[in-house]
């Protein structure tokens, strides 16, 4: 267990140090959510009732999809190069290789979420602290699961990597658009609502909206939490299995 | 240091069974410098990947640095170093950071890892590059970094997969100087694959040739050449009559004005042969001896040339 913690810290540090060395990269990565926040948020103002209350959770979920989903990219690059193989020949714990990386994604996601919330406050976003804390926590859980799935995809895609790009790009927009993250689907045609109902992201968004409205006991929170933990469990299980099997 | 028995790896590709390595027996003692030679697809890398725990054997056993690769892979990993075919350092990380991370992965404390990193940066002439990223280094510098990463925990046994491939001749010579130096400094056992025959010839004490997943030759370069290819004496004469006479005396056949015969120790046999020919009244125009190359050895064993096969994988 102590080796596992030691190894997880080692891998986390390895991944995190470059972020600290070049923090600007983090800001660029946030360009899209920030642009969406200021541009669409202002456009939607008044169109969907309490716009910021509705829109900020959506932006957070969007960030939580794009970031973790593409987090396998770095791993893919390391798999195509020789650095992952080099780590696999060291006695470092294989599960730590996964958890250390996932922890870095978690930390970044957390920082980004807090930043978005803070930036939205002066725009008129109303903060319900308990709900916001629960919301961000759920997002991080969901993000870890999604990030691990992205790692698995990267491992399956090496050495060409084609599969990785096809799946992430093919998945991202349908998941986003058909979940009501950015635009409400309530007034859409019936098929859209049916598709929305099978989209796991829909449950996450609805839970987030309830939580950020301070509605901690809303039933959507239960569904959203169940979905987040299910994705996390599945991701970590598959990720761990893939890492142990080797590259 | 390495003891393998019946080591076999079978891949299933598109439902076809491909036997990449077929029952290899291998014994390498501590302190040896072994070159593992063979054409692409012969099973070099697959063997190396099994010995370094990257790939479980389909059957057979291997004990590496005193530990079984299948039963105690972590024990093997802790005791060996590995320099893969591709560059080992992550693109986002500074040279020194990667070395320290590598040390931590082998269980060194933070200060030990920093000390070792500094020592290796000095040993491999990487000090001025310590705060740069791998992408800004030259091919030779990156390769030296790969070797440094493989040495961070002072392994008694280091595997190198094509350490000098893709480098210009000067960088290759430089890498070799470093490999030989670390061997002198630490007494490291070295097991490397290469497809530069002249490198295996001049550097390795022992050459193992693999083809089609089977070891087909094993010995010093000198032994292999003497036993399997042999020295040659080539003589040319002015007339075909002289050539025929020379061929009779040398126990060879003439091809026009040229007579080539295989002899052990050609350089010392040549003066004697010339004297005999002179006594028999044969006028010799030119005479030369040729030492075989490892490629001749491979040719003699398989009927193919190793360099012809040397296409990029």
Total count of domains within chain A: 1
User: Where does a domain end: B200, B225, B250?
Assistant: B225
| CATH number of B246's domain | 3.30.70
Query: Is there a single domain that holds both residue B21 and residue B88?
Result: yes
Which residue of A3, A10, A85 is in closest CB contact with B84? Answer: A85
B113 part of a folded domain: yes
Query: Is there a single domain that holds both residue B220 and residue B236?
Result: no
B51 part of a folded domain: yes
Query: Is there a single domain that holds both residue B257 and residue B181?
Result: no
pLDDT of residue A171: 83
Residues of B in contact with A92 (CB under 8 A): 105
Query: Is there a single domain that holds both residue B172 and residue B236?
Result: no
pLDDT of residue B313: 40
Query: Is there a single domain that holds both residue B98 and residue B242?
Result: no
Residue-averaged pLDDT of chain B: 87
Query: Is there a single domain that holds both residue B97 and residue B216?
Result: yes
Contact B89/A14, CB-based, under 8 Å? no
Query: Is there a single domain that holds both residue B185 and residue B113?
Result: yes
pLDDT of residue B249: 87
Judge whether B57 is closer than 8 Å to chain A, CB to CB: no
| CATH number of B116's domain | 3.40.50.300
B105 part of a folded domain: yes
For the entire predicted model, the pTM comes to 0.83
Judge whether A10 is closer than 8 Å to chain B, CB to CB: yes
Residues 82-101 of B with CB under 8 A from A: 82, 84-94, 97-98, 101
pLDDT grade for B312, boundaries at 50, 70 and 90: very low
Size of interface A-B (CB pairs under 8 A): 73
Find, in chain A, the residue whose alpha carbon is nearest to that of B52.
A89
**Is pLDDT of B132 > 90?**
yes
Token pair, residue A74, equals 């770095």
**Is pLDDT of B202 > 90?**
no
Residues of B in contact with A247 (CB under 8 A): 54
- Looking at the complex, report in whole angstroms how far the Cα of residue B59 sits from the nearest Cα belonging to chain A: 17
Print burial letters for B234-255: b (CB count within 10 Å at least 16), e (below 16).
Answer: ebbbeeeebbebbbebbebebe
Residues of A in contact with B77 (CB under 8 A): 89-91
Sign of CA dihedral B219, B221, B223, B225: positive
Query: Is there a single domain that holds both residue B64 and residue B212?
Result: yes
Q: Pick the residue with more confidence: B68 or B298?
A: B68
Contact A17/B106, CB-based, under 8 Å? no
Total count of domains within chain B: 2
Q: Is the ipTM of this complex over 0.85?
A: no
Domain that holds residue B241: 231-291
Residues 6+ apart with CB under 8 A from A158: A76, A79, A80, A247
Query: Is there a single domain that holds both residue B14 and residue B76?
Result: yes
Residues of A in contact with B55 (CB under 8 A): 246
Per-residue pLDDT of chain A (247 residues; tens, 9 = 90+): 688 899 999 999 999 999 888 888 777 778 878 888 877 777 766 655 557 888 888 888 988 888 888 888 889 999 998 899 999 999 999 889 999 999 998 898 888 889 889 988 888 888 888 999 999 999 999 998 999 999 999 988 888 888 888 888 888 888 877 777 777 767 777 777 777 777 888 889 889 999 988 888 888 899 999 999 999 999 999 998 888 876 5
Cis peptide leading into A159, omega within 30 of 0? yes
Query: Is there a single domain that holds both residue B133 and residue B212?
Result: yes
- Average pLDDT estimate for B135-141: 89
Domain that holds residue A34: 2-245
Judge whether B67 is closer than 8 Å to chain A, CB to CB: no
B312 part of a folded domain: no
- Average pLDDT estimate for B235-242: 89
């Amino acid at each position: 267990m102590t080796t596992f913690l030691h190894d997880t810290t080692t891998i986390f540090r390895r991944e995190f140090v470059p972020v600290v060395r070049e923090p600007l990269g983090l800001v660029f990565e946030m360009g899209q959510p920030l642009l969406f926040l200021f541009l669409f948020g202002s456009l939607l103002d008044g169109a969907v009732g309490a716009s910021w209350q509705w829109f900020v959770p959506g932006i957070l979920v969007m960030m939580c999809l794009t970031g973790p989903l593409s987090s396998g990219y770095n791993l893919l690059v390391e798999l195509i190069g020789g650095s992952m193989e080099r780590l696999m020949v060291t006695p470092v714990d294989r599960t730590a290789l996964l958890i250390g990386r996932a922890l870095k994604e978690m930390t970044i996601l957390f920082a980004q979420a807090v930043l978005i919330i803070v930036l939205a406050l002066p725009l008129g976003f109303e903060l319900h602290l308990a709900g916001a804390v629960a919301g961000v926590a759920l997002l991080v859980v969901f993000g870890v699961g999604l990030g691990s799935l992205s790692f698995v995809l990267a491992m399956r895609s090496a050495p060409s990597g084609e599969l990785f790009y096809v799946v992430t790009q093919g998945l991202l927009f349908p998941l986003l658009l058909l979940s009501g993250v950015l635009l409400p689907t309530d007034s859409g045609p019936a098929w859209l609502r049916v598709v929305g109902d099978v989209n796991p992201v829909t449950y996450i968004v609805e839970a987030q909206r309830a939580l950020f409205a301070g509605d901690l006991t809303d039933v959507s929170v239960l569904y959203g939490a169940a979905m987040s933990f299910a994705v996390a469990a599945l991701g970590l299980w598959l990720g761990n299995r893939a890492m142990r099997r080797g590259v | 240091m390495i003891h393998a028995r019946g080591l076999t790896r079978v891949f299933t590709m598109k439902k076809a069974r491909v036997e990449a390595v077929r029952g290899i027996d291998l014994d390498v003692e501590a302190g040896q410098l072994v070159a593992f030679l063979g054409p692409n697809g012969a099973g070099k890398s697959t063997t190396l990947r099994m010995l370094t725990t990257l790939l479980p054997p389909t059957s057979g056993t291997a004990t590496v640095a005193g530990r079984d690769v299948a039963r105690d892979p972590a024990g093997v990993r802790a005791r060996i170093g590995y320099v893969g075919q591709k560059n080992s350092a992550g693109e986002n990380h500074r040279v020194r950071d990667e070395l320290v991370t590598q040390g931590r992965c082998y269980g060194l404390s933070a200060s030990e890892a920093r000390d070792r990193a500094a020592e290796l940066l000095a040993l491999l002439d990487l000090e001025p590059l310590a705060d740069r990223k791998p992408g800004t280094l030259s091919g030779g510098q990156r390769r030296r970094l790969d070797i440094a990463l493989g040495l961070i925990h002072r392994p008694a046994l280091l595997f190198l997969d094509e350490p000098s491939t893709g480098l210009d001749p000067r960088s290759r010579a430089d890498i070799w100087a470093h490999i030989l130096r670390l061997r002198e400094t630490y007494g490291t056992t070295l097991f490397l694959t290469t497809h530069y025959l002249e490198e295996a010839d001049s550097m390795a004490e022992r050459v193992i040739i693999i083809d089609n997943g089977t070891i087909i030759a094993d010995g010093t370069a000198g032994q292999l050449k003497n036993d399997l290819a042999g020295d040659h004496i080539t003589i040319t004469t002015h007339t075909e009559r002289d050539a025929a006479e020379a061929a009779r005396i040398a126990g060879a056949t003439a091809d026009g004005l040229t007579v080539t015969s295989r002899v052990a120790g050609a350089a010392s046999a040549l003066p004697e042969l010339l004297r005999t020919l002179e006594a028999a009244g044969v006028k010799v125009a030119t005479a030369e001896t040729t030492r075989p190359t490892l490629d001749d050895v491979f040719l003699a064993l398989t009927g193919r040339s190793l360099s012809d096969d040397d296409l990029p994988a």
